[in-house]
């Protein structure tokens, strides 16, 4: 068991960090303030191969492991959590279900352009009545000849409006509950598929969060992903892997906030000493460093299992809930250490604190993660 990164991972981390610091960090505050989607940076990420890290080369991906992916999302999120989730949602929530459940034709048609970054992906599961409880899905799909007709809406969809490809869930048979749900691949521009409300959010403000609206939207039968009735399972498996991405995003937020606090504590003096010389602050920093280290190890463990195609559900849930709670604690503490200045927009920590909150909510709330963990430990 080796706890050190190998040469490739070290090189990848350096590359993404350099890219993040030189190209992504400078505009991050302005993008946050204006809620401006990072379209140019998304394209550059595609060119660098960041959009398809875990997918096979034959499908346009890089063929790298989950650790490479986690490192990438962490380094991007360390300077811009909105950009981190843009890549994560695209890869884990849209490209990956097609990768895992798609036919060869679907992979050639949809996965390849997603993996190369030529097209952007999104995932439409959540609805007004179906958040933690996916069985509340009210969007319907009806088979008519060689088409499906979709009616309904989705909310809080990351990358909505900008994405070209959408994996969505719809109910085909309410009497079967979760087993009636099916998953579909949808293209932007399909008649009957439009966008509704753009959400105004507390944090990750430059990530696009939109409502999707389906009004008699007709899609070819070949766009069914997996089998009818398999949609819930596809969604749950997708989220299992997606949690590694969000855990990495949270880890990045925590790391970025911690570094800001560490740096500030060495520069700021009160009571004749730098803050870093005061026990009170030292203990805060020590706790932050410790929690981040623990979160990192949980994330890396989940990555190891995912790369080996071993059951990942429990460990991904553990990594996600721990990393998310760490991000919130660390970012809040970072604002505290920077004091009055940390509360202003002159420093990035207030944004990191606002960004951190969502990691405890999306891709499964922290409460849901605990339900997943409990279900796993009680079935053993």
Partner 1 sequence: MNIVVCLKQTFDTEAKIVLDSNGKIDSNGVNLVINPYDEYAVEEALKLKEKFGGEVTLVSMGSERVQESIRTALAMGCDKGILVNDPSIENPDEWATSEILAKAVSQIPYDIILAGRIAVDDGSSQVAIRLADALNIPSVSSILKLEIEDNKGTVTREIDGGTELIEVGLPAVLTAQKGLNEPRYPSMMGIMKAKKKEIKVLTLADLGMSAADLPRKMSIPKFSLPNARTAGKKISGEAAEAAQELARLLREEAKVI
What does the binding site for partner 1 look like in residue numbers (CB under 8 A)? 7-8, 11-12, 14-15, 18-19, 47-50, 53, 62-64, 68, 72
DSSP conformation letters of 292-352:
HHHHHHHHHHHHHHHHTT---HHHHHHHHHHHHHHHHHHHHHHHHHHHHHHHSTTSTHHHH
**At closest approach, how far in Å is the CB of 91 from partner 1?**
12
Nearer to partner 1, 15 or 361 (CB): 15
Is 363 part of the annotated catalytic residue set?
A: yes
Q: Which residues contact 220 (CB under 8 A, 6 or more apart)?
A: 146, 147
Our CB check for partner 1 shows the closer of 49 and 102 to be 49
Q: Where are the alpha helices (DSSP H) in 48-93?
A: 66-79, 81-88
Residue with smaller CB distance to partner 1, 56 or 278: 56
Shortest gap between Cβ of 21 and partner 1 (angstroms)?
11
Distance CA 372, CA 198 (A): 31
Nearer to partner 1, 13 or 201 (CB): 13
Whole-number Cα distances in Å, 66 to 27, 54, 98, 219: 28, 6, 17, 33
Parallel, antiparallel or unpaired: strands 147-158 and 165-171? unpaired
Integer Cα distance of 6 and 324 in angstroms: 26
Q: Which is nearer to partner 1, 18 or 287 (CB)?
A: 18
CB 166 within 8 A of CB 212: yes
Minimum Å gap between C-beta 16 and partner 1 is 9
CB of 331 to partner 1, least distance (A): 26
Sign of torsion, CA 88 124 180 221? Answer: negative
d(CA 323, CA 294): 9
In the set 4, 127, 363, 367, the catalytic residue is 363
CB of 338: closest distance to partner 1 in angstroms? 23
State how far the Cα of 135 lies from the Cα of 173, in Å rounded to an integer.
Answer: 11
Closest by alpha carbon to 257, among 333, 362, 203? Answer: 333
CB of 51 to partner 1, least distance (A): 9
Closer to partner 1 by Cβ: residue 71 or 358: 71
Rounded Cα gap, residues 80 and 251, in angstroms: 12
- The residues carrying an active-site annotation are 363
């Amino acid at each position: 068991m080796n706890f050190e990164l190998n040469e490739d991972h070290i090189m990848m981390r350096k590359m993404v960090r350099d890219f993040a610091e030189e190209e992504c960090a400078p505009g991050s505050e302005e993008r946050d303030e204006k809620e401006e989607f990072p379209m140019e940076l998304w394209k550059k990420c595609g060119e660098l191969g960041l959009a398809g890290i875990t997918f096979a080369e034959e499908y346009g991906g890089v063929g790298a492991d989950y650790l490479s992916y986690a490192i990438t999302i962490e380094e991007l999120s360390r300077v811009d959590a909105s950009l981190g989730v843009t890549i994560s949602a695209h890869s884990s929530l849209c490209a990956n279900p097609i990768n895992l459940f798609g036919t060869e034709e679907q992979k050639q048609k949809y996965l390849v352009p997603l993996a190369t970054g030529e097209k952007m992906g999104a995932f439409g599961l959540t609805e007004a009545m179906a958040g933690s409880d996916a069985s509340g899905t009210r969007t319907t799909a009806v088979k008519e000849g060689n088409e499906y007709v979709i009616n309904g809406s989705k909310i809080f969809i990351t990358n909505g409006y900008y994405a070209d490809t959408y994996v969505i869930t719809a109910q085909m048979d309410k009497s079967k509950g979760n087993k009636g749900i099916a998953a579909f691949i949808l293209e932007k521009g399909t008649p009957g598929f439009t966008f509704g409300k753009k959400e105004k959010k507390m944090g990750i403000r430059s990530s696009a969060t939109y409502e999707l609206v389906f009004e008699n939207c007709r899609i070819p039968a070949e766009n069914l992903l997996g089998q009818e009735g398999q949609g819930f399972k596809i969604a749950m498996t997708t989220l299992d892997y997606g949690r590694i991405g969000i855990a990495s995003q949270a880890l990045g937020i925590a790391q970025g906030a911690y570094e800001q606090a560490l740096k500030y504590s060495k520069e700021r003096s009160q009571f004749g000493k730098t803050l870093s010389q005061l026990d009170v602050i030292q203990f805060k920093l020590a706790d932050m460093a410790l929690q981040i280290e623990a979160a990192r190890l949980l994330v890396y463990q989940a990555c190891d299992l995912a790369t080996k195609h071993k059951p990942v559900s429990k460990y991904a849930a553990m990594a996600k809930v721990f990393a998310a709670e760490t991000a919130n604690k660390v970012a809040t503490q970072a604002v505290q250490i920077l004091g009055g200045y940390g509360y202003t927009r002159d420093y990035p920590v207030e944004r990191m604190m606002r960004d951190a909150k969502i990691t405890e909510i999306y891709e499964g709330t922290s409460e849901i993660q605990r339900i997943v963990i409990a279900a796993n430990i009680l079935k053993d």
